[in-house]
Amino acid sequence: MMPSRRQRTFLLAFTLLCTLWGLGYPLRCEVCRSDGQKCSGKLKTCDSDKDTCVIMVGESSTISTTMSAHDYMVSNTHCCQTDACNTGSLPPPPNNRTENGLVCPSCVAPFRDSCSGSQLARCVGSESHCVYLSGNVHAGIIKPKFATRGCATESVCNTKAGAEVPSITYEYYLNRADCLPAPPPRWQG
């Protein structure tokens, strides 16, 4: 039996209303930080301009970049766009610290918006690009400047100026994000 024209109009109107009702609904994400492998927290209603929840597991010494043997970060990230989709956990990221023969200019300049890269970082694992990142670190109520150069995986090249980049401990707001393939190693004689 086919619905009447009036019933079809009601069904269409109801479907449109439900669709539009969902568009204005803010996303809710779980928020927590932990030094261990498990983390759980309360659901937080996101600002209206935010449309993605994230789960991040990482290992860092200060800032997948390598600025020096003791100044690196690796992370495993999952992004999703439905309520409470970031609950649960991710496996720890692989951390291959084996040098691959590539080098990049290196520097870390907290509280400055530029650095020269007068040192060299030895790239490790699948790091095949040189990056230069600068901006502000949001660490509570303070927002100091930072600049850094070093090695990175090619995926870091997708990060552009204006991006908000979460890390395990802070949120980085980038004013500059340059990325180039690492030059081939020079033969030492």
Q: For residue 186, is it within any domain? A: no
Q: How far apart are CA 44 and CA 84, in angstroms?
A: 9
pTM higher than 0.85: no
Q: For residue 50, is it within any domain? A: yes
Dihedrals phi, psi of 34, to nearest 5 degrees: -155, 150
Q: Which tokens sit at 8?
A: 């079809």
| Rg, the chain, Cα only | 22
Give the pLDDT confidence of 118-162 residue by residue, as tens digits.
899 999 988 999 999 999 998 778 899 999 999 998 888 888 898
Counted domains in the chain: 1
Q: For residue 11, is it within any domain? A: no
Q: What 3-state class would DSSP assign to 30?
A: strand
Q: For residue 7, is it within any domain? A: no
User: Which residues are CB-neighbours of 28 under 8 A, at least 6 positions away?
Assistant: 43, 44, 45, 46, 83, 84
Q: For residue 20, is it within any domain? A: no
Q: For residue 45, is it within any domain? A: yes
Q: How far apart are CA 152 and CA 57, in angstroms?
A: 18
Q: For residue 9, is it within any domain? A: no
Q: Residue 101 belongs to what domain range?
A: 28-181
Give the pLDDT confidence of 7-26 residue by residue, as tens digits.
333 333 333 333 333 445 67
User: Which residues are CB-neighbours of 118 under 8 A, at least 6 positions away?
Assistant: 105, 107
**Confidence tier at 188 by pLDDT (50, 70, 90):** very low
Q: For residue 3, is it within any domain? A: no
Element (H, E) at 16: helix 5-23
